[in-house]
Structure 1
Amino acid sequence: MRRLTASRLSGLRVFAVAARHQSYSAAATELCVTQAAVSQQIRNLEQSLGCRLFHRSGASMLLTGQGEQLLPFVEQGLALLQQGLEHLGTPDSGPLSISVLPSLAARWLMPRLWRFTEAHPGIEIRLQPSQQLADFGAGKTDLAIRYGLGDYPELACEYLMADTAFPVCSPQLAPRLRRIEDLARVPLVAGPEYAGVSWANWLALAGKQALLGQCRQLVVDDGSLGLDMVLAGQGVALSRSVLVEDLLREGRLCRPFAPELKPLHQYYLVWRPDSPRRLQIRTFCDWLHGEAGN
């Protein structure tokens, strides 16, 4: 049985570097040792394994068939060791930083977060409410909840949930909204058009696009701020279902009309696949899936 001894581990590291460069001298330069030391390490490894790993071809050292068979396992093993070293002492230090849209943080995540902290007291959460995309390269964000198409190159990505968009109002205002035409009598609260969600598109869906010119719109940058206005009875908001599901269930908001838009975007969880905090990220993602009902 070929056991992984300390000498073999050292030789396997040299083997991987030499295979990448196809040169003992280049490997020696990277490893800060002599070419003779690299050659000796490879020779000792070959003797202990009972097979040839390299053969010379001109100025290059090329892998034999057995060397090619061994290399991917060595590279994977060394990569896992490196991840383990990076992980050591870091995953539990400091809070897990979550980048999230302010409206989603205020209306969906914050009212639920206490359940996570009770179930996982060892993981501290720091929310980063922001309209901007998280900069994973800066190392200040561990996980992002993004509203988009799920196309995030070089990042790990999981679908979280979808939503729809429809008008909501306060119970005090609802009696004044018996027909869609009644929207012309109250302020319409909306955010900037994004992912196809706009009063123009909703009215077109309801077959009342001509009504738009008779309506007064108030545009706010943050969906949660718009909902605060509606809760105070100051208008009707075109809001996403994820943001208002709790308010509708509690009876603090009403849904006066049935038509609903399907936004072009959905919610996704995004993180660096090589993050040293993958275990905590996985724990939080699993909890989020449970809260989203999937």
Structure 2
Amino acid sequence: MRRHFRHHDLLRLFAEIARHSSFSDAAAALNMTKGAISYQIKTLEADLGMALFRRTTRGVTLTDEGLRLLAACQTRYQEIEADILEMKGRASRSLTVGVSTYFAARWLSPRLMTFLQRHPDVQLRIQPMIQFSEREMQQVDVAIRWGNGDWGEGVVTPLMSLSPYPVGNSSVAQKVEALGMGVAISQLTLLRDRDDSNAWSDWLTAACLPQQTRQDVLIVPDPNVRVQAVINGQGIALMDDLVSADLEAQLLFRLSEIELPDYGYFLVQPNGTVATDAVATFSAWLRAQS
């Protein structure tokens, strides 16, 4: 057994010398003396009964036997590294998912136990997100984001089509019923999710209504806060069927039948991240649930 371990150490040393093509450079990289390295290689050559290096004035070159041995070593070491990575992956399949608290509370959370029961080996972490900024996205493996998917960053795939429509509180609903949407909307504040969002512009176009001015807009990035702002009468917002409980409780009222069919929830894999097996497993589960 000791001989096998000695051969393993000597073969690692042999591969390092072959990489540097120099006893001196390999010695410096390994913090060893050139004499110690030379002695170790002579010992390996004696054990194997073959010359592995040709000594030249510029360093060393591999013999034919040395080339074959190096190819065998590299193949084995690559296999070992791959096995180690696979073992580490099985031991700890961690996954960080970025999602708004609105979607997490109203759709994801009630279903999560199913995923955890089916995949107990995945260590899941839910990361609350609001702006889905580049900085936030670099902290997650995958994100679930609302919009039309036209963000131009990361790998974007459709997850769930939930078309948004305008909602308001009871006072707003009465105003819309009395004046009509075309007149009433010009007197209302539009709550947007972010400054560069085109959702309201797209909806107004779909409804054949004039665009609103910037003074008619209030930015409320957090969807939960936006829902509460609508209930409190601060404006109207584009929401989806995840507010169905608020509609049933008559805290919110749907103001129009016109929807935006291209909008919904998308899976976004941030740029620079790896599509791990855990990401694939979670994404497949999400699609099955939706």
Deviation per residue, 1:184-204 (Å, 9 max, x gap): 34432212234x534234323
Deviation per residue, 1:16-51 (Å, 9 max, x gap): 433333322222233233334434555666677787
Give the match for residue 287 of structure 1.
282
C-alpha distance in 2 between matches for 1:215 and 1:106: 32
Give the match for residue 193 of structure 2.
191
Tell me if the contact between 1:189 and 1:235 (Cα under 8 Å) persists in the aligned partners: yes
Indicate yes or no: 2:141 matched with 1:143.
Answer: yes
Deviation at 1:102, TM superposition (A): 4.3
- How many aligned positions are there? 265
Kindly provide the amino acid, as one letter, of the partner of residue 291 in structure 1.
Answer: L
Tell me if the contact between 2:137 and 2:143 (Cα under 8 Å) persists in the aligned partners: no
Gaps spanning 5+ residues in structure 1: where? 152-156
Deviation at 1:220, TM superposition (A): 0.8
Decide which structure has the larger Cα Rg and report it: 2
Give the match for residue 218 of structure 1.
218
Deviation at 1:218, TM superposition (A): 2.4
Give the match for residue 246 of structure 1.
242
Matches within 5 A, 1:70-85: 70=72, 72-74=74-76, 76-77=78-79, 79-80=81-82, 83=85
**3-state SS in 2 of match to 1:267:** strand
Give the match for residue 154 of structure 1.
none
Deviation per residue, 1:258-279 (Å, 9 max, x gap): 342747x953235855xxxx9x
Kindly provide the amino acid, as one letter, of the partner of residue 66 in structure 1.
Answer: R
Deviation per residue, 1:102-160 (Å, 9 max, x gap): 44444443343232334345655443324452486xxxx56342755454xxxxx7857
Tell me if the contact between 2:206 and 2:258 (Cα under 8 Å) persists in the aligned partners: no
Q: 1:169 aligns with which of 163, 167, 188?
A: 167
* Farther-moved stretch of structure 1 (164-173 vs 107-116): 164-173
Give the match for residue 33 of structure 1.
32
C-alpha distance in 1 between matches for 2:156 and 2:199: 27
Gaps spanning 5+ residues in structure 2: where? 146-150
Instruction: Name the CA shift for 1:199/1:43 in 2 (closer, same or farther; >3 Å).
Output: farther
Instruction: Name the CA shift for 1:68/1:9 in 2 (closer, same or farther; >3 Å).
Output: closer
Give the match for residue 148 of structure 2.
none
**3-state SS in 2 of match to 1:256:** coil
TM-score normalized with structure 1 length: 0.63
C-alpha distance in 2 between matches for 1:159 and 1:106: 22
Matches within 5 A, 1:1-294: 5-39=4-38, 41-42=40-41, 54-55=53-54, 58-62=57-61, 66=68, 69-70=71-72, 72-74=74-76, 76-77=78-79, 79-80=81-82, 83=85, 87=88, 91=92, 97-121=96-120, 125-130=124-129, 131=131, 132=133, 133-134=135-136, 143-145=141-143, 148-151=151-154, 159=157, 161=159, 166-169=164-167, 176=176, 179=181, 182-194=184-196, 196-208=197-209, 210-213=210-213, 216-230=216-230, 235-239=235-239, 244-248=240-244, 252=248, 254=254, 256-260=256-260, 262=262, 266-270=266-270, 273=274, 282-283=277-278, 285-293=280-288
**3-state SS in 2 of match to 1:212:** coil
Identity of aligned residues (%): 22
Q: Normalized per residue, which structure has more helix?
A: 2
TM-score normalized with structure 2 length: 0.63
